[in-house]
Amino acid sequence: MNISEPINQTKLIGLDKYMGELVGLKDNLPNKILLSGPKGSGKCTMAFHFINYILSKNEEYGYNLDNFEINPKNHSFIITLNKSNPNLILLDITNETKSINITQVRELISSLKKSSFNKKPRFVLIDNVEYLNINAVNAFLKIIEEPSENIFFILINNDKKIIPTLKSRCLNFRVGLSHQECINISNKLLMTDIFSLINEDLLHYYFTPGKILNLIKFSEDFSVNLKDIKLDEFLSLIIDKAYYKKDNPIKYMIYDFFELFFRNKTNFHDMEYFSIFLKKIENIKKFNLDEESLFIEFKQKLLNE
């Protein structure tokens, strides 16, 4: 099953209302927009669609606003895929880094000083903006305080804390989906009933379409049958096989499953341990520690009870 990255997705599904609101800003477009919402809710896909809507005006095969669809033959779309669009600069964490660093921001500044050789708007799309490290965010603030004419910033935040000075400079635009909306969008993306692929016990937690697609991809990559496996069995399998070392999206999804596991517990002692456990997770992420001992502790203390 081919699961596309946001940059490749020509159809925007389930976010019509939000896209319509963005399009409504076109005549007086703020130069700094912050899209906030849970990871995997489609914010980045919608940003690419909105940018194509603006850049493909007066181009052949322009954006189809009636169907919220990018035409694959459109020139702006093609050069965006090739990462050669002079009117779009992308910034994100990399596989090698845990943050967006000062070097990346300096390269952004250098790029913005160069001409795009056309009169179209220029967009800077920053995904996972919460991962701007302190030096990077200070340098970035200097750019957006006095942005050059016709340059627009779209920042994507996954419901994580960002510094107030950055948030206060942006138009804050929240994207939220109900659990049923997530299921409906996933069904359309996968063109099947998601409950025929994944046990309801695993889908009981509030999962975004992006997380559901990552879960499907994991099941295909490692030949794991998700239809007949329950939450505790799934967690045991991932910990025993150390799949979290091979698949970063699944590693972070485990943390979500941990929360589901504790939510299903009613014993106060478990809830108290959950608070301690959450603090350990926070420290592992903050200090880039090895999570193996934490996962083994979870399995020994709770899954085997």
Domain ranges, ordered by start, for the chain = 6-174, 179-303
Selecting from 3.40.50.150, 3.40.50.300, 3.40.630.10, 3.90.280.10, what CATH number does the domain 6-174 have?
3.40.50.300
What count of other Cβ atoms lies within 10 Å of the Cβ of residue 288? 8
pLDDT in tens, the chain (305 residues): 455 789 999 999 999 999 999 999 999 999 999 999 999 999 999 999 999 999 999 999 999 999 999 999 999 999 999 999 999 999 998 766 778 999 999 999 999 988 777 889 999 999 999 999 899 999 999 888 877 889 999 999 998 889 999 999 999 999 999 999 999 999 999 999 999 999 988 887 668 999 899 889 889 989 999 999 988 888 889 888 988 888 777 777 787 777 777 766 655 456 677 778 778 877 776 676 778 888 888 888 777 65
The predicted pLDDT at position 273 comes to 74
Strand order in the sheet with 122-126: 88-91, 122-126, 151-157, 32-36, 171-174
The predicted pLDDT at position 135 comes to 93
Q: What is the pTM of this model?
A: 0.87
The predicted pLDDT at position 243 comes to 87
Tell me the C-alpha distance between 136 and 106, whole Å: 8
Give the gyration radius of the chain's Cα atoms: 21
The predicted pLDDT at position 270 comes to 64
Nearest to 214 by CA among 242, 243, 248: 248
The predicted pLDDT at position 305 comes to 53
Tell me the C-alpha distance between 263 and 258, whole Å: 9
